[in-house]
Amino acid sequence: MKVIHPPKPEAAHFNGLFYGFTGVGKTTLLGSAEDCEATSPMLLIDVDGGLLALAGKKIDVVRPTNFVHLQEIYHYLREDNTKYKSVAIDSITEEQRTISMGGLMNEVDDELAYKDLSKSQPPTRQDWLKSGIQMRKLVRAFRDLSYLKDRERRLHVFMTALEKIDEKSGRGCPALPGVLALEVGGYVDVLARLVIRKRIDPETEKTTEARFLHAREYTTSDDVIYLGKNRLGRLGKGVWNPTITSLIQLWTK
């Protein structure tokens, strides 16, 4: 039996999922990895097609159109990568809706173009189950790139997702189907909700809007519980105007 030991906190690589509504700055947050020595260069797996938010950034981008492409990317990062220090998937919500479900239902071709826009056949329970299995494997596989045996080849791993209110539990969570939405946070070290909040500037005392990354579960004024966690507790309750640099500094301090 081989015995291993947990990594030292300062040596642990970040793996996390950021979720939130459209327009709160999730892709912009990923793009800030370019400015962080620990995470640059980064490989961005773009499924959302939101690259305009990264205009001017020198980030390598790939656009997979099926799970064969995703497997090739994963294999390269796990076995052959000597260039990238981090990888990001933007977003797993769109990946599930188009690549996973679209592929299972044979709705899209290899360029993610819809074969028949008039087709309206709803997915079966079997389709949902298969898609859920695919997504679990995807999240776990890429997460494990932060735990590779060779410490020199480990990657910081970032993922994004839209958000939703789960109908059965009434909880705010990543926009994924069924129980996966509630359990996906268990697969990563950080699950955090990105929002835009009002904030009083301590110098000018004026109220401004700023991004805030909730890193713990919390309840809103209308009694909705939003999921969140960070295993080492090093992100505290959350981070104002987060960047990848600030998150990595907190994570490894």
Which helix H or strand E contains 181, and what residues bound it? helix 180-183
pTM: 0.89
Q: pLDDT (tens digit, 0 to 9) for every residue of the chain, 253 residues total?
A: 665 556 565 557 999 999 999 999 999 999 999 999 999 999 999 988 777 777 788 889 999 988 889 999 999 999 999 999 999 999 899 998 888 877 766 777 776 666 666 677 788 888 888 888 999 999 999 999 999 988 889 999 999 999 999 988 889 999 998 889 999 999 999 999 999 988 877 777 788 889 999 999 999 988 899 999 998 899 999 999 999 999 999 998 7
- Cβ-contact 163, 21 below 8 angstroms: yes
In this structure, is residue 28 part of a structural domain?
yes
DSSP state of 108: B
Tokens (6 digits) for 33: 């990895």
Residues 6+ apart with CB under 8 A from 167: none
- Give the domain extent around 42: 9-252
Nearest to 163 by CA among 234, 233, 112, 228: 228
Q: Is residue 2 part of a domain?
A: no
Tell whether 1 is covered by a domain: no
Q: Are 81 and 146 in contact (CB under 8 A)?
A: no
Q: For residue 167, is it within any domain?
A: yes
Q: Give the chain's domain count.
A: 1
Any idea what the CATH number is for the domain that residue 146 is in? 3.40.50
Is residue 211 domain-resident?
Answer: yes
- Is 3 inside a domain boundary? no
